[in-house]
Structure 1
Amino acid sequence: MSELQRRLVHASGSLVPLGYLTGVVPWSVVTGLFVASALVATVLEVLRLGVGLDWAIYDRLTRDYEQDNPAGYALYTYSTAGVALVFAPPVAAAGILMLAVGDPISGLMGSRGVGETKQVTTLLTMFGVCLALALGTFAAEGVRLTAPALLAGVVGAAGATVADGVKPVVAGYVVDDNLSIPPVACGAMWLVGVAVA
């Protein structure tokens, strides 16, 4: 699978929160879908890592460093389910969209090796995309873009950018940005943006 195809699969996660923001599904359905996907991913990862199930799709969707560790798709489902359960819809939807849309755009702009940081232009693009996603989400939710909401968008975008820009290796395990972007972004927005929660 080409890198572009991998990024398109990644971006498909935006369809669920966009369904909520456009009024197609209630937030309870969004949460339920993300929790269900996390449960399915857990079963698949247990089979892959514990039993040795080796489907061809794993070769396409996992990277080399994920062969013996939880795969990025599973971490994606855990982080999105977690923020959907913990944070109010405007904050959670913004954080999920930062992962689903901002991260693939950033990834297409510049790849890096494990532990390396991205170029400044890529990080600035990630920040701009995430800020636009946050403010767009707030507006779709009827949140007035007052100073607290703007500040929440800025710090959320900054948090997502930091989480995207650095992939630290802890005890030989890569802390994937699929796991870190939503909780870091949502936590930052929640801390400063009570008005959007």
Structure 2
Amino acid sequence: MTANTATARRLLRREARATRRGPAIALAVVLTVLLLVLLGGTVGWSLDEGFRTQVRAWFAPVAAIAHTAPALLTAGAVLVALALLLLGAAVLPGRRARRTRLDARAALVIDDGVLADAVADGVARRLGVPRGQVRVTVGRRTVLIRVTPTSGVPVDPAAAEDAAGRVLDEAGFRLSPRVQVAPEGVIA
């Protein structure tokens, strides 16, 4: 493996993965606000007797409920779920709606929407239906093709699957096409 291939693979991986900037900023803002509130509460608690009595009055019902087993179990379950969510956001890779391919001459990044449009164009051309009657959704491993036929004109699902497979092979992506033909057609 050459240095250029390693660099291209690293760039492709970077383009296909989403950053965690948004969740990290949101968590930092929430923690900053909570820490500022805690700091203000601590200062108020230490300096003002009236503030202490008011805070005790606010938290008296919470303290009574907090000593029950169901409340402790619920709070624990919520905190564990939040911790698992944050851990998952930190560790699991985010995925953008993009496909990558590396060949001998170039590194290629294709958006799933562009791939779906190419498949829809190929299927519509092969079946002889207007482009607006073919909808394509690109998933992680499959391509779902929904065809609404023109009323009275039959549609061959095998031909649609063959056309989609041909477009995907030309693009160099190994996805399995699935075809759904609407039971009722549209009037042309």
Q: Same fold (TM over 0.5)?
A: no
Q: Which has the higher contact order (CA 8 A, sep 6+)?
A: 1
> Quick check: which has more Rg, 1 or 2?
2
How high is the TM-score relative to the length of structure 1? 0.25
Select the structure that is richer in strand. Answer: 2
TM normalised by structure 2 equals: 0.26
Higher helix share: 1
